[in-house]
Amino acid sequence: MTTNEQSVSTTNNFLRTIIDEDLKSGKHSGVVTRFPPEPNGYLHIGHAKSICINFGLANYFGGRCHLRFDDTNPAKEEQEYIDSIKGSVSWLGFDWGTHLYYASDNFEQLYLWAEYLIEQGKAYVEDLNAEQIRANRGTLTEAGTESPFRNRTVAENIELFRRMKSGEFPDGSRVLRAKIDMASPNMNMRDPVLYRIIHAPHPHVGDKWKIYPMYDFAHGQTDAIEGITHSICTLEFESHKPLYEWFLDNLPIPYRPRQYEFARLNLTYTVMSKRKLQELVQLKLVNGWDDPRLPTLEGLRRRGYTPASIRDFCDQIGVGRSDSWIDVSILEESVRSDLNESAPRVMAVLKPIKVTIKNYPDDLVEDFEIANHPQKPEMGIRTVHFSREIWIDRDDFMEIPSKGFHRLTVGGEVKLRFGYIITCTGVVKNDDGTVSELHCEYDPASREGIHTADGRKVKGVIHWVSASHAVTAEVRLFDRLFSDPNPDRGGIDYKQFLNPDSVEILRDCKVEWSLADADLETRYQFERTGYFRQDPKDSRTAGLVFNRIATLRDVWAKK
Ligand code: ATP
Ligand code: MG
């Protein structure tokens, strides 16, 4: 997909209905949405839902979606996150065009609006510290207590606020609060903090400011400045909506955006809070923010998820207003069904055991021309070599077969995918009794079909790689990071549910010759094994390294 044909969701939802009505009634003549990340971490699959909703709705209605950094807290924000977020949104296939904004670009205007509220007697400088403010806030059943500083004069408030701005006071010594209602049943309306003192440079506006607006004081006003028609956020902001509207009502802002909430994405077998993701990275329980087991977009991208599969997933889960859990198997299935269509097939032996075909000529090499995709002739063909020594997967052989085992056993026969039927005539063992090599014989007449020369049908078909043509590769088999569907259940340390087998590294895999110069972007189906792509970071330095994106089938469904 190119950036000028952006993705449009095909499924209907309640937000689309609202916008449709607003356009029909003439309330709005066009649609402007925004995706507003705070640049204090990397994006995860939950953010992808929000991105697909905001960009998807704008695209559907021929409007536009802004990328806006909600950068009001320099203590936690970094340029690195800004760059990564931009990269992830583009990678998902969305284009903000010229509409890249920073809440911090409005700091001057927001400051003037704060002074306006002071002049109207609707804001005051608070000298109580954070703990005292909290103690005076009251509870859900009890009203809060008004601050002794609540009735300062306008002149005194202006003077103190300007001195806060000029950097005269240390961090945390004073804040600016709105004067609303300490008895409001909505805690957000009990004189919320508007500005705090932070002596820290800001990643976007440098060290100009010593005071910074709170999220609530910045968000709605920034929506208004940008001309956002539908400000779409997750349900936890529902209780902030009266405050969002209070600012718009009490400031000289002619334009009125509206806030709509939807349920956030909760995904099983993972954690999504930025704080927990950060902790996993910092404690080195994963290898960085782009660890392929993480639900971060950088992680999913590195693992091999396609943007199309993530958009498709977001489409499938829909948009609603009630909190629900989505099983991670739905995400896995969306990448499987995408790659089933698009991934070329190859053969790779992950746990190799050598097979010598005793009756095959020593010096012969046959070239088999094999389709890259069984249903898609347009994907072309490749050459696979066959010779006297091949690798097969250790798991495809059993010396003493269990019931129902239809692959290779001593004296038994098996069909090599695209190749001959072979019969195992003997095993070579190491001193410790483990099998080191298999001796086989092939049936020269059995290249086509699955019948032996005398017409017996062979049940098992296995993959293989010619030993003298194989390329050695490292393969990383990723599995779910947590072994419990809900590790983040509160009360229990989520880290105790980490899956000890979330990655298995196989260093001596044998892959077919055609993969020697595979490019980094191509995703492959390793026949019978799963979907893989080269690790974009380590494949450059460490020879061929493949990441397993997904197994061929849902192996957790059985567990
Ligand atoms: P987290 O809770 O993971 O730390 P956040 O909400 O603090 O994330 P923001 O940068 O503020 O992260 O999020 C940007 C946008 O993405 C917000 O509009 C937020 O509602 C939305 N968003 C965040 N998490 C999810 C989620 N799990 N599902 C859907 N939307 C989400
Ligand atoms: Mg947030």
pLDDT tens digit sequence for 238-277:
999 999 999 999 999 989 999 999 999 999 999 999 999 9
Nearest protein Cα to ligand 1, atom 13: 37
CA of 274 to the centre of ligand 2 (A): 9
Annotated catalytic residue within 274, 302, 336, 533: 274
pTM of the full structure: 0.94
Q: Which amino acid makes up residue 476? A: R
The neighbour count for residue 45, using CB atoms within 10 Å, is: 23
Residues with Cβ within 6 A of ligand 1? 36-38, 46-47, 49-50, 233-234, 264-265, 272-274
Catalytic site residue 332?
A: no
Determine the average pLDDT of the residues in 410-416.
95
Q: Are 502 and 480 in contact (CB under 8 A)?
A: yes
For residues 310-335, average pLDDT: 94
Domain range 351-374+381-455, CATH class: mainly beta
**Rounded Cα distance, 237 and 251, in Å:** 21
Closest atom of ligand 1 to CA, residue 264: 28
| Whether residue 430 has pLDDT greater than 50 | yes
Atom of ligand 1 nearest to the CA of 273: 3
Q: Under 8 Å CB-to-CB from 470, ≥6 apart: which residues?
A: 349, 391, 510, 511, 512, 513
- Of 42, 38, 35, 36, nearest to 274 by C-alpha is 42
What average pLDDT does range 169-197 have in this prediction?
98
**Ligand 2 centroid from CA 69, angstroms:** 11
pLDDT > 90: percent of the chain:
91
* Centroid of ligand 2 to alpha carbon of 347 (angstroms): 45
pLDDT digits (tens, 9 = 90+) for 484-542: 999 998 889 999 999 999 999 999 999 999 999 888 999 999 999 999 999 999 987 77
Q: Hey, what's the torsion of the CAs at 217, 64, 313, 327, to 10 degrees?
A: 10
Ligand nearest to the CA of 263: 1
| pLDDT tier, 323 (very low <50, low <70, confident <90, very high otherwise) | confident
Mean per-residue pLDDT, 212-238:
97
Judge whether residue 9 has pLDDT over 80: no
Q: Is the pLDDT of residue 400 over 50?
A: yes
Å from CA of 264 to ligand 1 middle: 8
CA of 261, nearest ligand number? 1
Instruction: Give 37 Cα–ligand 2 centroid separation in angstroms.
Output: 7
For residue 236, the CA-to-ligand 1 centroid distance in Å is 10
- Closest-lying ligand 1 atom to the alpha carbon of residue 266: 27
Mutation test residue for ligand 1: of 33, 42, 49, 50, the one with most atoms within 8 Å of CB: 50
Residue 4: predicted pLDDT: 41
Q: What is the pLDDT of residue 449?
A: 80
- For residues 217-238, average pLDDT: 97
User: Does residue 170 register a pLDDT over 90?
Assistant: yes
Superfamily of domain 107-213: Glutamyl-tRNA Synthetase; Domain 3 (3.90.800.10)
Residue 415's pLDDT band (cuts 50, 70, 90):
very high
Q: What is the pLDDT of residue 355?
A: 98
Distance from residue 370's CA to the centre of ligand 1 (Å):
46
Find the ligand nearest to 43 CA. Answer: 1
Residues 543 and 532: their CA atoms lie apart, in Å, by 15
For 120-149, write each residue's pLDDT tens digit: 999 999 999 999 999 999 999 999 999 999
Ligand 1 atom with the smallest distance to the CA of 236 is: 20
> DSSP secondary structure string, 274-314?
HHHHHHHHHTTSSSSTT-TTSSBHHHHHHHT--HHHHHHHH
Determine contact, residues 266/323, Cβ cutoff 8 Å. Answer: yes
Atom of ligand 1 nearest to the CA of 38: 10
Q: Which fold has domain 8-105+216-331?
A: Rossmann fold (3.40.50)
- For residues 502 and 550, give the distance between their C-alpha atoms in angstroms, rounded to a whole number: 13
Per-residue model confidence as pLDDT tens digits over 299-318: 999 999 999 999 999 999 99
CB crowding 275-302: b at 16 or more within 10 Å, else e: eebeebbeeeebeebbbbbbbbbbbbbb
pLDDT digits (tens, 9 = 90+) for 349-397: 999 999 999 999 999 999 999 999 999 999 999 999 999 999 999 999 9
Q: Which atom of ligand 1 is nearest to the CA of 237?
A: 20
274 as an active site residue: the answer is: yes
Atom of ligand 1 nearest to the CA of 234: 20
Catalytic residue among 264, 394, 495, 537: 264
Q: Is 190 a catalytic residue?
A: no
Q: Do the Cβ atoms of 42 and 91 come closer than 8 Å?
A: no
Does residue 150 register a pLDDT over 90? yes
Per-domain residue ranges of the chain: 8-105+216-331, 107-213, 351-374+381-455
Residues 48-94 pLDDT 10s: 999 999 999 999 999 999 999 999 999 999 999 999 999 999 999 99
Checking if the pLDDT of 10 tops 90, the result is no
Handedness of CA 117, 118, 120, 122 (dihedral sign): positive
Comparing C-alpha atoms, which of 122, 258, 264, 240 is closest to residue 189? Answer: 240
Per-residue pLDDT tens over the stretch 187-223: 999 999 999 999 999 999 999 999 999 999 999 999 9
Q: Atom 23 (ligand 1): residue with closest C-alpha?
A: 47
pLDDT of residue 8: 65
The pLDDT-based confidence of 3 (bands split at 50, 70, 90) is very low
Q: Give the number of the ligand closest to the Cα of residue 233.
A: 1
Please say whether the beta carbons of 332 and 552 come within 8 A.
Answer: no
pLDDT exceeds cutoff 50 at 2: no
| Tokens linked to 254 | 């002619």
Cα–ligand 1 centroid distance for 525 (angstroms)? 33
Is pLDDT of 452 > 80? no
Nearest CA to ligand 1 atom 22: 47
- What is the band of 554 on the pLDDT scale with cuts at 50, 70, 90? confident
Residue nearest to atom 14 of ligand 1 (CA): 37
What is the best residue among 13, 44, 47 to mutate for testing ligand 1's pocket, by most ligand atoms within 8 Å of CB? 47
